[in-house]
Amino acid sequence: MGREVASAFGRWFALLDFPVRPQLVAVCDVNAPALDWFRQVPGVAHFDPDHRALLARADVDVVYVAVPHHLHESIYFDVLRAGKDLFAEKPFGLDLAAARRVRDEAERLGRFVRVSSEFPFFPGAQRAIAVAKSGTLGRILEARCSFLHSSDLDPTKPANWKRQNATCGEGGVMNDLGLHVAHVPLRLGWRVRSLHAQLQKIYPTRPDGKGGVAVCDTWDNATLHCTADIAGQSAPLTLEMKRLAPGETNTWSFELLGTERGVRFSTKEPKTLWQFRRDKEQWWEKTDLGFTTPFKTITGGIFEPGFPDVLQQMWAAFLAERAGRLDGRFGCATPDEAVRHHELWTAALESQRTQSVVTLPPGS
């Protein structure tokens, strides 16, 4: 992910009239080949295997931290206590308690902190959010939010840190993919009142990449059947996070259905918005949105956006908000939203354990 961010900064000139220009000046990785990759990036002058050396630098204002989940809390604390602002990665700590500690420390120190979740910056997602906020859907029928992968279908794929509770967290796939799914519902103010979770461990072992076998104790697939308050109405909300979803590479989707109107967006069709309406007949209308990103760029409106584009848009939102220039646009996930997404996964783990519907405390 660090490479992706270097790439987004490297073509920052694509953004038009943007008030801030980030410069990547220092990089840290404990793995020498990973660190060496950044030597080709213009402008990077410092390469440190120890993050504390990077944090001691006076020319570093903001730190992006993309490390395995068990290291989030300690490195985020080091960043905050070094007086730097933080662009954190999800899930913002191994579990709910860790996320609360980081949020509280950031508040105490007055640092600007946001958490990475780029898919809502697709133009289609932005339009779907606008429809969801419009108050024109009629009676809310249901909503579905999902993020689906299929790379783990192959049982010969070696295990890595994301397959183990000690490094990924007990939430497993929910820690890994969950903020992508929860960011928009949380931002829209939807409240999950109760949920029933179906969590699956599909391959309990995998090759360890060194000729042996590694135990994979994380949840691979999660489907959460929630009862939520959506725009003031109680309705079913399905949250799906899956590593084994046949045919899906990195598919983020959002669907909200009402009796009068509905909206659907999926990164499978990255420039397409589907909207439902009815008169004497019922219509699912398809609109090609093109490159109508929240922050304007040199790219013509007829072209379609992709992952590197929305990642750059997310960073633009982070830097604009930090500079007080978000101007009403959609912002990056907040520490409080990261805490609240962990509250959902904690309830889901309890539901799985007790095989029951779990009620969330008011305010979750």
Q: What is the dihedral of CA 261, 264, 269, 273, to 10 degrees?
A: 30
12 contacts 311 by C-beta, under 8 angstroms: no
Between 29 and 343, whose beta carbon lies closer to ligand NAD? 29
Between 28 and 237, whose beta carbon lies closer to ligand NAD? 28
- Which residues, other chains included, contact 29 with Cβ-Cβ below 8 Å and sequence gap of 6+? 2, 35, 38, 49
Between 252 and 265, whose beta carbon lies closer to ligand NAD? 252
221 contacts 203 by C-beta, under 8 angstroms: no
What is the C-alpha to C-alpha distance for residues 16 and 297, in angstroms, rounded to an integer?
A: 5
Q: What's the closest the beta carbon of residue 332 comes to ligand NAD, in angstroms?
A: 11
Distances (CA, A) of 295 to 136, 242, 302, 303: 26, 31, 16, 15
Between 1 and 215, whose beta carbon lies closer to ligand NAD? 1
Q: What's the closest the beta carbon of residue 117 comes to ligand NAD, in angstroms?
A: 7
C-beta atoms surrounding 81 within 10 Å: 12
Q: What's the closest the beta carbon of residue 65 comes to ligand NAD, in angstroms?
A: 8
What is the C-alpha to C-alpha distance for residues 26 and 211, in angstroms, rounded to an integer?
A: 36
- Which residues, other chains included, contact 53 with Cβ-Cβ below 8 Å and sequence gap of 6+? 28
What is the C-alpha to C-alpha distance for residues 340 and 186, in angstroms, rounded to an integer?
A: 8
Q: What's the closest the beta carbon of residue 217 comes to ligand NAD, in angstroms?
A: 17
Q: What's the closest the beta carbon of residue 5 comes to ligand NAD, in angstroms?
A: 10
Between 37 and 274, whose beta carbon lies closer to ligand NAD? 37
Between 161 and 203, whose beta carbon lies closer to ligand NAD? 161
Burial of 341 (0-12, 13-18, 19+ CB in 10 A): buried
Between 70 and 201, whose beta carbon lies closer to ligand NAD? 70
Q: What's the closest the beta carbon of residue 178 comes to ligand NAD, in angstroms?
A: 10
Contacting positions for ligand NAD (CB under 6 A)? 1, 28-31, 34, 51, 66-69, 71, 89-90, 116, 118, 176
62 contacts 33 by C-beta, under 8 angstroms: no
Q: What's the closest the beta carbon of residue 115 comes to ligand NAD, in angstroms?
A: 9
The stretches of 11-95 forming alpha helices (DSSP H) are: 32-37, 51-55, 72-81
